[in-house]
Structure 1
Amino acid sequence: MYPRVILKGTMIKKSQQKRRTSPCNYKERFFVLDTQELKYSERRPGKKPTLKGCILLSRIRCVEIVCSDVPIPCHYKYPFQVFHDSYYLYIFAPDNDVRLKWVRALKEETKYNQLVVKYHPNFWMGGRWRCCQQTEKLAAGCQEYCPEGYGSVALPKTPELQWSSYDPGQRLVMALRDYAPIGASDLPLEKDQEYVLMDSSHPEWWTVRDVRGKTGFVPRTCLLEKTASTNIDRFEWYNKDITRAQAEDLLMSEGKEGAFMVRDSRHAGVYTVSVFTKAPGSNGEKNPRVKHYHIRETKGSGFYLAERYLFLTIPELINYHQHNAAGLITRLRKPVSQRDLSQNPYIHTEDAVDQWEVNREELILGKEVGSGQFGLVLEGRWRGRKVAVKMGIEGAMSEEEFKEEARIMTRLFHSKLVQLYGVCTQCSPMCLVCEFMENGCLSDYLRAWKGHLSSKTLLTMCLDVSEGMAYLESSNFIHRDLAARNCLVSKNNEVKVADFGMARFVLDDEYKSLHSKFPVKWSAPEVIRFCKFSSKSDVWSFGVLMWEVYNEGRIPHEHSTNTEVIESLNKGLRLLKPRLATETLYLLMEWCWKEIPEDRPSFALLLHQLASLSDP
């Protein structure tokens, strides 16, 4: 009698690292659970599936959700574990429903096995269990295992039951992505789960309460206020009674790349996104025009503009395309409306930059301390505080590009990022008022102090940058221009990440730009070949930054042209080991320079590895 298939589907498997020297990687596999085995295969177009692993159900001793505070390094973010024989198999599901379905099925099929009494609810990582800090991989667990439940992990209830005890007048928000707490007062978020909004007075950090009654701070950028999918009248970008011709006139008069609106289509119940672009036409010249996209709805009540990107509500769809073009001719940058927005207090019109505006007369400008492609940096004073004032150079950066950098900086708060204090956008030239870093950019500092910096200082510099980048990674930001020249050094030699002119907020850890310029000598192969940016391309750049630090400010590939650098990368060649770097540190650099992005570490893992090297 053949075994009966219970479940099958595509998920991601983390390597089990059965040998001490085996690498850590994440592979997409097709899993099949039947009444006898759990099997997983590699599926490649045009080829037969290749069986990669098979676990007899009778050998499984524990199946449980993994609850962790570390960023998940693959694009499926919902892990669970299967403990069999003496090995832990970590599997990553695409969403929580799929994860629960597999865990329930596996528990049901293995509940009469010889099971563990306790299990580890967190990952084995860096040679220890993150939950109990034990350093023996087969050490007894620290949480009681329940074969028919979910251990100590409180699972989300269905939406209908989840909020039945709450006042219906309370404001609800939905998490757009997972969020791992940075500080003790932060609250973790789980993507697609609902929370009660307690306080939204701060422009960037809101206070929310979860279903278990816990309250804490979360970034505003992680949340979307809950509204009915058809109730879009509250949003600035919606124009109800406007024709196609009127929309085109309004957007053409606005004349800014990515200016957009959502309007009613000629077909009842259908909505259209109209967006202005100056993208070059077939002749290569700028071609100002308005493109129109129907918002399409699937049978399962999902909305999309491009097939791959499906959303439960129209506000979620617009929010996504405001950060990623993803099939559109341009990103949705600036909402345009013909309505008098001041008459409706519920319309979402707030611009974070406006709330950071400072009076130009309060600024006292001093000497120039730096310059770059897009602006000058002056020493200054503001309200008795020493500040750095970044002023845009006329013609080098558009007003919208300058404001975009300001918007990004208003959303980021971390001790290893250069902090924004305020903006001046009401007069020309516009400027950013930022934290002053006395020792200037990292590359200049390294050259100035060449031969006088200890190995501990060099390692601490790399640690500082990795900490700032781990925060960006956990906040779904990619920097896109990480290098020693774009990090600054304080008077006490603390290094902070700066220059967010190319940074992007992404909802799926991937950003593709057809018009981006990038520094070839710091760029990953997928950026050079396909203009494809992600946190893993930032990791590549971080490896080059480490090389800069341990070469005390030398320029990478200093005697090679960009073309020669590309040719050497295509041959698999990498930068040579710096004289001041240990073999272990160079292995970390080489790990950052893996050809396949998924084979590179996350910043969270790099931070952990560097921290372990700094321990006495």
Structure 2
Amino acid sequence: MSHPTYRYVSQWDFKGSTRQELSFKAGDHFQALDRSGDWWLVEKLRADGSRTGEKGFVPNNYMAEEGTVEEQPWFFRDLSRTEAVNLLLKRGNTTGSFLIRVSDKQGFVYALSARSQNSVKHFRILQDEQGEYHLNASNFFVDLNKLIEFYKVKPLAKGLLLTSPCVKDEPTDTDLNPLPVDEWERPREEFELAQKLGSGNFSQVYEGYWLGRVKVRVAIKTINQDVTNQETFVRETTFLKTLRHRNLLSLYAVCSVGNPFYIITELLAKGDLLKFLQGSEGEELNLDALLDIAGQIVDGMHYLETKNCVHRDLAARNVLIGQNNICKIADFGLARFIKDDMYVSRSKEIPYKWTAPEALAYGRYTLKSDVWSFGILLYEIMSRGIIPYPGIQNSELLCYLKQGHRMAAPQNCSDKVYNVMLDCWMENPQKRPTFNDLKINIDNLANYEPSEESIKPPKSKGWIKKLRKPVI
């Protein structure tokens, strides 16, 4: 049985810093031998495609798959709306600068984001049953290049023509797990603690440095060694080793020899979402930016949903936020993989005001109890960090909920967003939406622009079909 051949081209120069790493120039070609992890094992190819025998590890975020849309300068793959806005409003971009990003939302594959003076407009790129792309019912294109060329001469919206691709910053290999291979256990001497970032019941979190291959800033969670904490350490690291998603915190390494234990993860510059929302930057966020944060969290939770994993501690304090407001769900100390659709726990160590009624009363946790918690988190987002159920004590909460009471909408929160919260807070867990449903609901609240031709009668598609070529 033959295996697929994965060939890639580098988009930037890279100079390796160890014998394991392969240096290369932009435009070099490679065959991937092992694509597990952030560092891929590849073999460099000659211009004619023949193999050179030169092998090593390369950072995967420098690579684009040959013959695909990834090679295009305007293609930015996984990017949130807020990241797209921040990039397009940077120096070097002007009106008409644009990018295309992947969307896993219901009904469309890609989104087109374009700068319009000092704002950014977003357009859904739809695809029909024949595989043709379109923004409206008037014009259809056999590939994304044709769509882009069309809207360089025909306005997307009033006065808005596409001009040049958004300036693409070179990635850094320090964005990736510093280990090119799957080696979780590392010696304590490789890590240096710096300033303390926070603490919990069993742990403390520090900003620190990994002094191994290169000096990399990381977050180091320390857990004092005893029987109970060892179970917590093993449980949390086991979860993090099996989960991989851009909206979940990435595990880098662990130290399980000596006291305290270390859990080393990526460091997100802006800290936890709760403090971010309560700060000056959070106050300036508009509805679109708040919904983008909610949408990123839903994307991460939907991934957990597909893994049959219940988080049990979803709250703004347990979401971390980085550059361009990228969000990562963290703190998997209470998480569990569930069988038979339910996990039962009698533990009293629970986040009371974020926990679903059936879990408070009977210790029953399902994927739908995380949906309830997301509704509370959405309240935190829209209120910019107000503590849930103000004025109600934990001892009063379950009775309050069983009587059918729910929190009122936060100030300036629209009915549509509040209705999403109420759906999450349905008493019957089966009537709550799934995270897949929430992906659709949140995205439908986001603002996508209609294109200029949307109000015009559609044209025949016959003239486009003559131009059909392989999609790039």
TM-score (norm 2): 0.55
- 1:522 aligned onto 2:350: no
2:208 and 2:243 map into 1 onto residues whose CA distance is 22
Q: Tell me the residue number matched to 1:398.
A: 229
- 1:427 Cα deviation after fit: 1.2
- Tell me if the contact between 2:277 and 2:283 (Cα under 8 Å) persists in the aligned partners: no
- Tell me if the contact between 1:374 and 1:397 (Cα under 8 Å) persists in the aligned partners: no
Whichever residue aligns with residue 191 of structure 2, its letter is L
- Any idea what SS the aligned residue of 2:324 has? coil
Q: Tell me the residue number matched to 1:385.
A: 216
Percent identity, aligned pairs only? 38
1:128 and 1:494 map into 2 onto residues whose CA distance is 23
Q: Tell me the residue number matched to 2:271.
A: 440
- 1:492 Cα deviation after fit: 2.0
Q: Tell me the residue number matched to 2:376.
A: 544
Q: Tell me the residue number matched to 2:248.
A: 417
- Tell me if the contact between 1:480 and 1:502 (Cα under 8 Å) persists in the aligned partners: yes
Whichever residue aligns with residue 422 of structure 1, its letter is A
- Tell me if the contact between 2:354 and 2:376 (Cα under 8 Å) persists in the aligned partners: yes
Q: Tell me the residue number matched to 2:304.
A: 472
Q: In the superposition, relative to structure 1, how do residues 366 and 535 fare at CA in structure 2: closer, same or farther (>3 Å)?
A: same
- Any idea what SS the aligned residue of 1:443 has? helix
Q: Which moved more, 1:543-552 or 1:374-383?
A: 374-383
Q: Tell me the residue number matched to 2:75.
A: none
1:396 and 1:444 map into 2 onto residues whose CA distance is 32
1:356 to 184, 187, 198: 184
Q: Tell me the residue number matched to 1:370.
A: 198
Alignment of 1:138-177 (within 5 A): none
- 1:507 Cα deviation after fit: 3.0
| 1:483-541, Cα deviation, whole Å (9 max, x unpaired) | 00111111221111000000001133310112352122111110011100011000000
- 1:394 Cα deviation after fit: 5.0
- Tell me if the contact between 1:455 and 1:580 (Cα under 8 Å) persists in the aligned partners: no
- Tell me if the contact between 2:268 and 2:320 (Cα under 8 Å) persists in the aligned partners: yes
2:209 and 2:283 map into 1 onto residues whose CA distance is 34
- Any idea what SS the aligned residue of 1:458 has? helix
Whichever residue aligns with residue 395 of structure 2, its letter is T
Q: In the superposition, relative to structure 1, how do residues 365 and 413 fare at CA in structure 2: closer, same or farther (>3 Å)?
A: same
- 1:509 aligned onto 2:337: no
Whichever residue aligns with residue 192 of structure 2, its letter is I
- 1:401 Cα deviation after fit: 1.8
Whichever residue aligns with residue 369 of structure 1, its letter is L
| 1:180-218, Cα deviation, whole Å (9 max, x unpaired) | xxxxxxxxxxxxxxxxxxxxxxxxxxxxxxxxxxxxxxx
- Any idea what SS the aligned residue of 2:325 has? coil
- 1:142 Cα deviation after fit: 7.0
2:302 and 2:328 map into 1 onto residues whose CA distance is 12
Q: In the superposition, relative to structure 1, how do residues 129 and 365 fare at CA in structure 2: closer, same or farther (>3 Å)?
A: closer
- 1:370 Cα deviation after fit: 1.3
Q: In the superposition, relative to structure 1, how do residues 473 and 516 fare at CA in structure 2: closer, same or farther (>3 Å)?
A: farther
- Any idea what SS the aligned residue of 1:492 has? helix
- Any idea what SS the aligned residue of 1:356 has? coil
1:489 and 1:504 map into 2 onto residues whose CA distance is 23
| 1:415-446, Cα deviation, whole Å (9 max, x unpaired) | 00010001000111001000101111111111
- 1:372 Cα deviation after fit: 1.3
Q: Tell me the residue number matched to 1:573.
A: 405
Higher strand share: 1
- Tell me if the contact between 1:551 and 1:579 (Cα under 8 Å) persists in the aligned partners: yes
- 1:395 Cα deviation after fit: 5.5
- 1:428 aligned onto 2:254: no
- Any idea what SS the aligned residue of 2:339 has? coil
- Any idea what SS the aligned residue of 1:456 has? helix
- Tell me if the contact between 1:363 and 1:381 (Cα under 8 Å) persists in the aligned partners: yes
1:391 and 1:451 map into 2 onto residues whose CA distance is 32
| 1:218-270, Cα deviation, whole Å (9 max, x unpaired) | xxxxxxxxxxxxxxxxxxxxxxxxxxxxxxxxxxxxxxxxxxxxxxxxxxxxx
Higher helix share: 2
- Any idea what SS the aligned residue of 2:408 has? coil
Q: Tell me the residue number matched to 2:451.
A: none
Whichever residue aligns with residue 521 of structure 1, its letter is K
Whichever residue aligns with residue 377 of structure 1, its letter is V
- 1:615 Cα deviation after fit: 3.9
- Tell me if the contact between 1:416 and 1:495 (Cα under 8 Å) persists in the aligned partners: yes
Whichever residue aligns with residue 414 of structure 1, its letter is H
1:556 and 1:381 map into 2 onto residues whose CA distance is 36
Q: Larger radius of gyration, structure 1 or 2?
A: 1
Q: Tell me the residue number matched to 2:364.
A: 532
Q: Tell me the residue number matched to 1:74.
A: none
| 1:252-296, Cα deviation, whole Å (9 max, x unpaired) | xxxxxxxxxxxxxxxxxxxxxxxxxxxxxxxxxxxxxxxxxxxxx
Give the unaligned 5+ runs of structure 1. 1-125, 131-140, 144-353
1:544 and 1:495 map into 2 onto residues whose CA distance is 17
1:128 and 1:387 map into 2 onto residues whose CA distance is 38
Q: Tell me the residue number matched to 2:389.
A: 557
1:128 and 1:443 map into 2 onto residues whose CA distance is 32
Aligned pair count?
271
2:349 and 2:378 map into 1 onto residues whose CA distance is 22
2:383 and 2:129 map into 1 onto residues whose CA distance is 44
- Any idea what SS the aligned residue of 2:283 has? coil
- Any idea what SS the aligned residue of 2:407 has? coil
1:609 and 1:543 map into 2 onto residues whose CA distance is 13
| 1:462-500, Cα deviation, whole Å (9 max, x unpaired) | 011100000000011100010001111112211110000
Runs of 4+ in 1 over 3 A off after TM superposition: 126-130, 393-397
* Structure possessing the higher relative contact order (Cα contacts under 8 Å, 6 or more residues apart): 2
